Amino acid sequence: MFSSEEWRNKLLQRFLKYVSFHSTSQPGIDMIPSTERQWNIAKYLYEELKTLGLEDVSIDEHGYVMGFIPENKEEKVSTVGFISHFDTSPDFSGENVKPQFRKNYDGSDLLLNKETGFSLKTSEFPELKDHIGETLITTDGTTLLGADDKAGVAEIITAAEYLLVHPEIKHGKIAIGFTPDEEVGKGADLFDVKKFGAEWAYTMDGGEVGELEFENFNAAAAVVSIVGKSVHPGSSKGKMVNAALLAVEFSELLPKNETPATTEGYEGFYHLCSISGSVEKAQLQYIIRDHDFKKFVDKKSLMQKTVDSLNQKYGENTFKIEINDQYFNMKEKIEDKMFMIELAEKAMQEAGIKPKIQAIRGGTDGARLSYMGLPCPNIFAGGLNFHGPYEFVPLESMLKAAEVIVNIAKNVK
């Protein structure tokens, strides 16, 4: 379907154009989009959808872009949607991305930057060898690539163009949406589900080819604030309360075997994202994750109990904690609508792909949207090693993702 040089180039050039936009989002900003730079790619996508001939193309005051492919089937079928985000992670620089190409990859280590010696090594990333013979797009070692999720954006728009120029492929109405601020947990905050009008949708935001996900973490953020007492260290016995040391003590009281570095699969964790402090005050920022809702609640409870215990030890209000839920496991909203998963499985099999149904050790816009009335499992976009300079995406994986989108569209009933 997308094997011709024409469509390979269309998808490749789109992706390269999108990653040229600096669209990093920023946490802790009380507006959407969180950065002005996201408007550049949002406006570009808006104009591109109009040029391709989609209907009712719009961009709202928060940067959400939508468009629709009209149905061309005589019989009425459900409206299905496809969604991706155009912001990139603030975990690593997304400015001035310089993609590197490796055609017909031979399975060896990849030197990405001669000046720094930065390399993608098969000993560290053995998944590279799953893509021998393919065209790999990598970073130059100084930025992330942006395949998360500009690969998804490129796949959706290329599939949309394919459907528009191939009217012999019959399908119902198809809704397309692109969101800002997914990487800072706000991508679905102002998404207009009613305007989108789909009965269900898929986020094209997964990793390796074949990934199909309808389970994700339950997620919360926690901020622990500590107040100390500064006294001259020469005469502080029985008087000083060192907030920085209390921060370390708090951290040590949480389970050592429940961190991102010690868990996998369905195992949850406490992740200390940052710690800062002095004698007078300190702060710890955590994220809490678990697929099992009861275990998730228990994790939040343990953090509160730890604060309460330390306040008994050091005095009331020495420790304060604020815990805010971020998103929940979409499985609760999808498990009685498994036809969506079966449809995606069939679409992958028709494309010669073996589906890999697994739980996300993270979250997507789809997790939030599923609780907003738009059930939204997640499909692979093809990239790997997101959020850093080791990120790469095989062109062939993106082509397969676009094919899956077309297959889903034509098989909707």
- Please say whether the beta carbons of 326 and 221 come within 8 A: yes
Whether pLDDT at 185 is above 90:
no
**Cis omega (within 30 of 0) for bond into 149:** yes
Residues 85-104 have pLDDT tens digits of 999 999 999 999 999 999 99
pLDDT value for 364: 82
Half-sphere exposure of 185 (CA within 13 A, CB side): 15
Residues 213-270 have pLDDT tens digits of 999 999 999 999 999 999 999 999 999 999 999 999 999 999 999 999 999 999 999 9
Pairwise CA distance, residues 125 & 309, whole Å? 43
Whether pLDDT at 1 is above 90:
no
**Token pair belonging to 272:** 């200390």
**Size of the chain in residues:** 413
Pairwise CA distance, residues 284 & 244, whole Å? 10
pLDDT value for 253: 97
| Average pLDDT rounded to a whole number, residues 311-336 | 95
The DSSP bridge pattern shows strands 378-380 and 211-215 to be antiparallel
- Residue 274 parent element (H or E): strand 269-277
Q: Residue 356 in 3-state DSSP?
A: strand
Reference 179, options 46, 70, 17; nearest CA is 46
pLDDT value for 336: 92
Q: In sequence order, which residues have a C-beta less than 8 Å from that of residue 304 and are 6 or more positions away?
A: 321, 323
Mean pLDDT of the residues in the chain: 96
Which residue ranges make up each domain of the chain? 5-216+329-411, 218-327
Pairwise CA distance, residues 221 & 184, whole Å? 12
Cα-to-chain-centroid distance, residue 230: 42
Question: Could you list the active site residues?
Answer: 87, 182
Residues 336-371 have pLDDT tens digits of 999 999 999 999 999 999 999 999 898 888 999 999
Residues 16-53 have pLDDT tens digits of 999 999 999 998 899 999 999 999 999 999 999 999 99
Region at 393 (left for phi over 0; alpha for psi -120 to 50; beta for the rest): beta
Q: In sequence order, which residues have a C-beta less than 8 Å from that of residue 229 and are 6 or more positions away?
A: 239, 240, 241, 279, 280
Residues 125-182 have pLDDT tens digits of 999 999 999 999 999 999 999 999 999 999 999 999 999 999 999 999 999 999 999 9
Classify 218-327 by CATH class.
Answer: alpha beta
**Cis omega (within 30 of 0) for bond into 126:** no
Q: Residue 390 in 3-state DSSP?
A: coil
Pairwise CA distance, residues 402 & 2, whole Å? 8
Q: How confident is the model at residue 117 (pLDDT cuts 50, 70, 90)?
A: very high
- CATH 3.30.450.20 for the 5-216+329-411 domain, yes or no: no
pLDDT value for 365: 87
Phi, psi of 179 (to 5 degrees): -120, 150
**Token pair belonging to 268:** 């949850």
pLDDT value for 371: 94
pLDDT value for 362: 83
Residues 135-146 have pLDDT tens digits of 999 999 999 999
pLDDT value for 11: 97
pLDDT value for 6: 95
Pairwise CA distance, residues 42 & 64, whole Å? 7
Q: How many other β-carbons are positioned within 10 Å of the β-carbon of residue 127?
A: 12
**Token pair belonging to 275:** 């710690």
